[in-house]
Amino acid sequence: MKFLIACVAILVLFGACGVSSYNGMVTKDEAVGSSWSEIQNQYKRRFELIPQLVATVKGAANFEKSTMIEVTEARTAVSKLSTDDGALKDPAQREAYMKAQKVLGSSLGRLLVTVERYPDLKASQNFLGLQDQLEGTDNRIATARRDYIESIRKYNTTVRKFPARLVAGMFGFEPREQLEFENAATEKTVPTVDFGN
């Protein structure tokens, strides 16, 4: 009788651990999805600010058309990519999305550096307001990416630990790939902006 009670107690304990592990994995999986949505939200905000910035800059006389075309083409390329849940789960789609966002960010950076040659445009309240909003959005994007990376780390740690690994295997929770940044060394290089001219 005592043996039977001990067996039932052990089964209940393992069942409780399994349920707790499963619920923890679901919570962390949802956090990963939420973090990815925040990245997309901030990229969408930047995407929506670009036409206002382009319209403001186009008003400047003799502004370089090649820079404007580059920004417009990069924005168009981003708009053609899927941002549904499939982009989160498919590494190739996620990589293409992040690469297009990087190209768009780079072209925006070149636009802002080029603007330095136009004192009237730099002093425009509309331009200054849009530039501040874009800088704030870039900061939010960096924060959202950091939060996503951390949520992936927490999720992967949970899925790989024992005994949660057994539960993960039974219910199909697989470790997720971390965000990879192409040319990480160049992203760490601070661009030089000369305000002396």
The Cα 41–Cα 47 span in angstroms is: 10
Domain that holds residue 127: 27-145
pLDDT of 152 reads 92
Phi, psi of 83 (to 5 degrees): -125, 25
Question: Is residue 125 one of the residues assigned to a domain?
Answer: yes
Question: How high is the pLDDT of residue 195?
Answer: 39
Q: Is residue 116 part of a domain?
A: yes
Does residue 194 form part of some domain?
A: no
Tell me how many domains the chain contains. 1
> Residue 169 falls within a domain, yes or no?
no
Is residue 181 assigned to a domain? no
The 10s digit of each residue's pLDDT in 92-146 is 888 888 888 888 888 888 887 777 777 666 667 777 788 888 888 889 999 999 9
- Whether 119 maps to a domain, the answer reads yes
- Whether the predicted pLDDT of 188 surpasses 50: no
The pLDDT value recorded for residue 185 is 42
Residue 106's CATH number: 1.20.1440.20
For 33-64, the pLDDT digits (tens) are 889 889 888 988 888 888 887 777 776 545 66
Does a structural domain hold residue 123?
A: yes
Is 90 contained in some domain?
A: yes
* Coarse DSSP helix, strand, coil percentages of the chain, rounded to the nearest 5 percent: 80, 0, 20
Phi, psi of 191 (to 5 degrees): -70, 145
